[in-house]
């Protein structure tokens, strides 16, 4: 039997700015009332299994989600700034439609947004460090939609059978490493929210 590491990627609960369709990036809005309930629901779900280590982005919406998980599991939260969301430059704080009107090309230099290549490299480094620290353990990482997607894209580009998705609030993505080879066990799974009126109508 080789070494097995289980990584659970959790996107934070709904924030006040998610609710308003505002671009967040590395700005720091708190969870909405719904987001706090979603965090409790994912914490309850994760509490049904054994976990060894809990990591989180240091932005409030991720940290608040991790705090709910920490309270259930009794694990300390290890904060990592490398797990932050993509920096969005001048787009941060704008409503989505407002941003599209003001900046038709989000990647224009004057917007000052973190490039997708830089985001993928940061995601690979940040999650890579977590995996190195927690080798052979069961790990939870609470992060952000853009970063989680970028990490899935990084895995796909390196030959893993992964479909990058835009993760839903408090979705669970499980990736198991056996002898260095990743296998996706669950992708963007939100069954802990279903039937509880914890998903805002799209």
- Residues serving a catalytic function are 12, 85
Question: Within 10 A of 169 (CB to CB), how many other CB atoms are there?
Answer: 26
Nearest Cα to Cα of residue 53 among 150, 139, 125: 139
Contacts of 197 (CB under 8 A, 6+ apart): none
Contacts of 48 (CB under 8 A, 6+ apart): none
Nearest Cα to Cα of residue 178 among 149, 135, 141, 142: 135
For residues 149 and 166, the answer to whether their CB atoms sit within 8 Å is yes
């Amino acid at each position: 039997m080789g070494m097995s590491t289980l990584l659970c990627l959790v996107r934070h609960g709904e924030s006040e700015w998610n609710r308003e369709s505002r671009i967040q990036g590395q700005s720091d809005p708190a969870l909405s009332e719904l987001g706090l309930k979603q965090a409790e629901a994912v914490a309850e779900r994760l509490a049904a299994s054994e976990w060894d280590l809990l990591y989180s982005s240091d932005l409030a919406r991720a940290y608040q989600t991790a705090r709910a998980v920490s309270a259930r599991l009794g694990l300390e939260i290890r904060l990592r700034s490398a797990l932050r969301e993509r920096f969005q430059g001048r787009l941060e704080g704008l409503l989505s439609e407002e941003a599209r009107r003001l900046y038709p090309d989000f990647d224009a230099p004057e917007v000052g947004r973190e490039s997708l290549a830089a985001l993928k490299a940061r995601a690979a480094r940040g999650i890579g460090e977590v995996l190195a620290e927690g080798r052979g353990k069961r790990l939870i990482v609470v992060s952000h939609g853009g970063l989680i997607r970028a990490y899935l894209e990084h895995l796909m580009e390196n030959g893993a059978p992964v479909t990058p998705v835009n993760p839903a609030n408090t979705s669970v993505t499980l990736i198991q490493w056996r002898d260095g080879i990743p296998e996706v066990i669950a992708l963007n799974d939100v069954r802990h929210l279903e039937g509880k009126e914890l998903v805002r109508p799209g």
